[in-house]
Each structure stands twice: as structure tokens, then as C-alpha cells.
Structure 1
Amino acid sequence: MRLSTVILPVRRWQEGGREQWLRAENLGFHTAYTYDHLSWRSFRDTTWFGAVPTLTAAAAVTSRMRLGTLVTSPNFRHPVTLAKDLITLDDVSGGRITLGIGAGGNGFDATALGQEPWTPRERADHFGEFVPLLDRLLSEDAVTYEGTHYSAVEARNIPGCVQRPRLPFAVAATGPRGLKLAARHGQAWVTTGDPKLFEAGTPEQSRDAISGQITKLGAACEAIGRDVAELDKILLTGFTPDRGRPLESLDAFVDFAGRHFALGITEIVVHAPIADSDFEADEKVFEQIATEGLAQLAG
């Protein structure tokens, strides 16, 4: 199992932002992700920086740890411009970028450009075009495409990604259409559990739901002749009924991670603590989990 973290872009670079990314690498996290939003939930009226510039800065000050978004969505992104940014970011990082990508939701990003929020079907329709086109843009030197929602006219992406044939996709999906995209285009799959269980569900119900999601992912892979074992299975914590329990103590983390490892999860992602927020946690416990958590789990 791998252990990764999410660093929300809520600190100025010169006022603790830079140090957070360096600390994550020094603590030994496999990947440090950030959210790709224009603003997000309780942080809407507070500091919030852009994901791509933040990751570029992080790439310049780190050297070993992988970096990525968790997740990018079509809500305010276009595949052509996103591909150019990602190729640049992959180059700056020396090939350490993973793109977490999902269909998006109906939060602030959904209307920030003046558009009406998409229905779930419309989000799935956009996502169904977005992912295959982005795959091509990151894999081919020149792409022309005319779709229902997106177009590309001789879009050039030379020299392409450092990682070949392109940087990896971690596709967030739970519905049948999204799981098919993960099976066909993903190098990893991302879940936050079942959102319907967050408020009133139990940890046991949540694990059953995640197990069911993995089974459906396996069926989607089998349908196209792919081995589901080829995909990493990533759990972003904080959105299951366990909520902040994995960061309460080292023992709590080991118990949580072990139960999900048994389901087939191969990477656990925990949020770097943020005071006075839903992600408040003891910094010392966070560091202990980073340095000892996987060893305790293996033992």
C-alpha cells in the first residue's frame, strides 16, 4: 500500500506554502496532491490558489515525490489548454505528475464562468468526451477533433510528456460510464466512498460500498479485456462515515488502512492538517502516520 497526502492551496507560497510541500516530501509521502478548484466549500471566502501554478512551484522545490491533482474536472477546464499546461508541468517536474480527473459536481466551479450548472447526465456527457480527447492530446503531436462539447484544430503538443506515452490518469468514478472511462484510460481509479453514506452511514456500510465499487470496476475492465489489477485503487479519506478518524491516532490509521487494504485499496490519501477547518488534526499525529503508518500496517 502507498500513503499520500492532499495539500489544499490555502497558504501563500512565502508564508508556509512552500514548506508544506517540502515537508510532505521529507516525510516520505508517495504523492502530494492538491484540489483543482476555483474555490471550494468552506474556503470560498478565504485564500485559495490555482492548482497548476501551485504544482509547478512544488515541482521546482521537490525532487522525489510525485505530484498531482485530486481532481481536475471539465467544469472550467478545456482539454486543449489543460494538455498544454500538463505537458509543461510534467517537464518541470521531471516526469512526476499524475492527473486525478473526475466529472465534477455542482459546486462553485460549475457556475463561475457564467454557465448554468450541468445535470448529472450532462456532466457525464462532457466527461465522456473530455477524457478520451485529453488522452489523445497528451499522446500525439497534433490532434484535430470535432465533438459535441469539445473541439481541437491541429492542436500541437510537442514534445509531449516526459512520461510515455503520457502522464498517468487517476480517474474518479463510481457510476457505470465513469468506470468504463477508468477501465479504458486510467492507470488508477479514485473513490471517496459512497457520498450517500457520509452523514448517516456506518464505517461497515461504507466499506461494503467501496467493495462493490471495486467489483464494478473489475467488471468494466473485464468487458474490454483488461486486468483490473493493472489499476491502482486510491481512497481519498475524509468523506466516508469515518471522517477524521484515520488521523486521530497511529492505531486508528493502521486499523482504517488495513481494513481498506483488505478490500483492494492500494493507496490511502490523507489531508494535511488545516487549523479551524474540517481538516483540523494534530500535526504530530499526522507526521507519525506518515513516517510509521505503513510500517505498522505491514507489521
Structure 2
Amino acid sequence: MRLSTVILPIHRWSEGQKIWRRAEELGFHASYTYDHLSWRSFRDGPWFGALPTLTAAAVVTERMRLGTLVTSPNFRHPVTLAKELISLDDISGGRVTLGIGAGGNGFDATALGQEAWTPRERADRFAEFVPLLDRLLTEGAVTHEGAHYSAVEARNVPGCVQRPRLPFAVAATGPRGMRLTARHGQGWVTTGDPKLFETGTPEQSRAALSEQLDRLAKACADAGRDVAELDKVLLTGFTPDRGRPLESVDAFVDFAGRHAELGFDEIVLHTPVPDSDFAADEAVFERIATEAPAQLNG
């Protein structure tokens, strides 16, 4: 079981760099950040760009993996995103994982002046976005004319440090997203079943996650892949457990152990943000980071 964290891009870098360095000192496998233009209750406060933040984090860390949870087509284009990712992978020395999803409603969906896409439109765009991005990160020059995205001799030399390209961790729960994960993913990300967040129980949540894992396994089998090849990542904070796993080391070990039994091999915690949905005791958070992995893997 690997333990990772999300650091929201809400801090000026004079302060933020200390948080990213501390995450590496605490031994986290990876530190991710959200790739949004703004987000939910943080919309009226500071919110910085994900890729510049990760680039700065790459300079002040040495070992920890870095990534997005998650990038989406809402305001990204595969051609420009590929160039930025190749640059980030180079600067970090090959430590980048791209978390990628279809996007959703909210500020990102309309910030460029477009009407919010329907779920079907988001799925259609995602189905074109991911394969094109895969090609852009693995081929020296790409030309593509699609329904939603085009590329004309888009060149990405020398390519990624990681070969054949940096890994994708695909956020998906529906059948089309699962198929994309099976074809292009090196990992799979979920936050659980959103319908259970308000009124569900932890037991119901684990049952729903087990069903998602079963669907992932079927999609991989249909694509001729072994589901064991994929990392299974749970981004916490959106299941009925809410903040309970961060109440103590024992509470977290129990939570993580139950999800490891389902098949998850990476748990992602939010670095505490006071006076927010992600408020937590900083001392307990650090104890979890330093003590829980040994208990889980011992």
C-alpha cells in the first residue's frame, strides 16, 4: 500500500514550497494537485495553476512523484498539454504521473465562454482527448483531424524522460471511461460513488468500490490486459467516511486496510487546509504519513 497526498494550489510559492518539501520529508509516495481554474469553496480565494506549481515543486523535491488529480478537457487541449507535460517530465527527472478525467460541471466547464457540455459530450471529447494525448507523448510528430481536436505536425522532441511516455492514471467509473483506462492507463483513480457521499454508509461505499473494481477488471479482460498491471488509486475525502480516517493513526490504518483488501494499492489524503472541508489535525496527519505505511505493509 502506497500513501500519497494532494496539496491544493492555494499558497503563494514562498509558503507553498515548504509544504511540498515537507511532503517529501514525510515520505509520501507522490504529491498531487488539482488541475482547475478555481474550485468549489476555494473559488474566491487564491488558486494557482497546476502545471507551474508542479514545475516549481519538481525543483524543490528530489524523489517524490508529482502529478495532477486530475487534468480534464474542460480547458485543456492535447497539443499544448503534451508540450507542457514533456517539459515537466524533463524538469522533474521523470517523476510525473498524469491523472486525467472527463471533467464535470462547475467553473472550469464555462470559464472559456462555452456552454457546459452534457455528460455525453464530455465522454465524447474524453474518448478523443486521451488517445490523441497518448500519441502526442509517444510520437515525434502527430497530425490528427478529429471531431473535437486537431493537430498538424505537432512535434514533441525529445519526448518524455519516462518511456514510452509518462504514466496516465485515468479517473473513470462509467463503461466508456473504463475502456479508455484499459487501453491507455497505467493507473485508475476513483473517489467512490458520489451518490453515497451524503447519506451512504462506509459499508455501502466499499461495496460500490468493489463493483467499480469488478467493472475495471472486465474492461481490462475485454482489452486483453491483466487488471493487475494497473495501479488502483483511491482519492479520499469524498466517501461517507469523510474525515474519519484522519482522526487517528489507528482509524487510518483500519480505513486503508479495508480498502487494500478490495484491491487498492494507493491511498491519497488531502494535506490539511484549516477552515475548509479538508481541515484536520496537522500532527495526526504527519503521524499517519510516517507511521501508517509500516503498519499497512508490515
Per the shorter chain, which TM-score range? over 0.9
Give the Cα–Cα distance (whole angstroms) in 2 for the partners of residues 213 and 142 of structure 1.
Answer: 36
How do residues 110-129 of structure 1 correspond to structure 2 at under 5 angstroms? 110-129=109-128
Give the Cα–Cα distance (whole angstroms) in 1 for the partners of residues 243 and 126 of structure 2.
Answer: 30
Counterpart amino acid of residue 267 in structure 1? E
Q: Give the equivalent residue in structure 2 for 1:4.
A: 4
Partner SS, residue 159 of structure 2: coil
Q: Give the equivalent residue in structure 1 for 2:78.
A: 79
* Residue 285 of structure 2 corresponds to residue 297 of structure 1: no
Partner SS, residue 111 of structure 2: coil
Give the Cα–Cα distance (whole angstroms) in 2 for the partners of residues 169 and 221 of structure 1.
Answer: 15
Pairwise CA distance, 1:276: 0.5
Deviations 1:8-50 (A, max 9, x none): 0011001x20000000000000000000000000000000000
Q: Give the equivalent residue in structure 1 for 2:147.
A: 148
Q: Give the equivalent residue in structure 2 for 1:158.
A: 157
Q: Give the equivalent residue in structure 2 for 1:40.
A: 39
Q: Give the equivalent residue in structure 2 for 1:257.
A: 256
Partner SS, residue 214 of structure 1: helix
Give the Cα–Cα distance (whole angstroms) in 2 for the partners of residues 173 and 284 of structure 1.
Answer: 33
Q: Give the equivalent residue in structure 1 for 2:55.
A: 56
Q: Give the equivalent residue in structure 2 for 1:241.
A: 240
Q: Give the equivalent residue in structure 1 for 2:217.
A: 218
Q: Give the equivalent residue in structure 1 for 2:170.
A: 171
Deviations 1:213-266 (A, max 9, x none): 000000000001100000000000000000111111101100100000000001
Q: TM-score, with normalisation over the residues of structure 1? A: 0.99
Q: Percent identity, aligned pairs only?
A: 80
| Structure 1 vs Structure 2 CA RMSD | 0.5
Deviations 1:255-293 (A, max 9, x none): 100000000001000000000100000000000000001
Q: Give the equivalent residue in structure 1 for 2:99.
A: 100
Q: Aligned residues, how many?
A: 298
Structure 2 segments unaligned to the other structure (5+ residues): none
Give the Cα–Cα distance (whole angstroms) in 1 for the partners of residues 198 and 148 of structure 2.
Answer: 35
Partner SS, residue 193 of structure 1: coil
Pairwise CA distance, 1:298: 3.0
Deviations 1:64-108 (A, max 9, x none): 000000000000000000000000000000000000000000011
- Kindly report structure 1 stretches of 4+ aligned residues shifted beyond 6 Å: none
Deviations 1:126-151 (A, max 9, x none): 00000000000000000000000000
Deviations 1:175-223 (A, max 9, x none): 0000000001000000000000001100000000000000000000000
Give the Cα–Cα distance (whole angstroms) in 2 for the partners of residues 29 and 298 of structure 1.
Answer: 14
* Residue 288 of structure 2 corresponds to residue 274 of structure 1: no
Partner SS, residue 59 of structure 1: helix
Give the Cα–Cα distance (whole angstroms) in 1 for the partners of residues 40 and 76 of structure 2.
Answer: 19
